[in-house]
Amino acid sequence: MFNLKSIKPEEAIENFVTKQTNKFKQKVRNRAIKNSEKALILAGRKLHDLTPDEWEFIVAEEEILVWEKYKKGGLISLVGIAFFGAP
């Protein structure tokens, strides 16, 4: 038997992500891109001002936030996503 407290949050998210389908992973990635674009607009910056590495870093951070949101929402989130699609 393993102890849930011994698992680091990063490992828990990685385990959660690896169990998902590619179609769902793409929906999460698309949501992260949309959220990143909104954040750039609110910050008054343009996508052309960023290097590809900077953009990828911003999207990756946002993707982690989206995964955490789904993970915390648990079963209710997954059922909602299955019926209504990614928010």
Higher per-residue pLDDT: 58 or 15: 58
Q: List the single range of 13-22, 32-41, 75-84 with lowest mean pLDDT.
A: 75-84
Distance, in Å, from the CA atom of 83 to the CA atom of 51, rounded to the nearest integer, reads 37
Domain assignment present for 75: yes
Assess whether pLDDT exceeds 90 at residue 32.
Answer: yes
Domain that holds residue 86: 51-87
Assess whether pLDDT exceeds 50 at residue 59.
Answer: yes
Domain assignment present for 15: no
Distance, in Å, from the CA atom of 12 to the CA atom of 19, rounded to the nearest integer, reads 11
Domain assignment present for 23: no
Q: What mean pLDDT do residues 37-42 have?
A: 91
Please spell the DSSP secondary structure of 24-57, one letter per residue. Answer: HHHHHHHHHHHHHHHHHHHHT--GGGS-HHHHHH
Domain assignment present for 29: no
Domain assignment present for 71: yes
Domain assignment present for 58: yes
Q: What mean pLDDT do residues 64-86 have?
A: 72
**Which residue is it, tokens 């299955």?**
82
Phi, psi of 32 (to 5 degrees): -65, -40
Domain assignment present for 42: no
Higher per-residue pLDDT: 44 or 3: 44
Domain assignment present for 11: no
The pTM assigned to this predicted structure is: 0.64
pLDDT attached to residue 11: 67
Tokens, residue 19 = 């169990």
Q: What is the total count of domains within the chain?
A: 1
Sign of CA dihedral 67, 71, 77, 82: positive
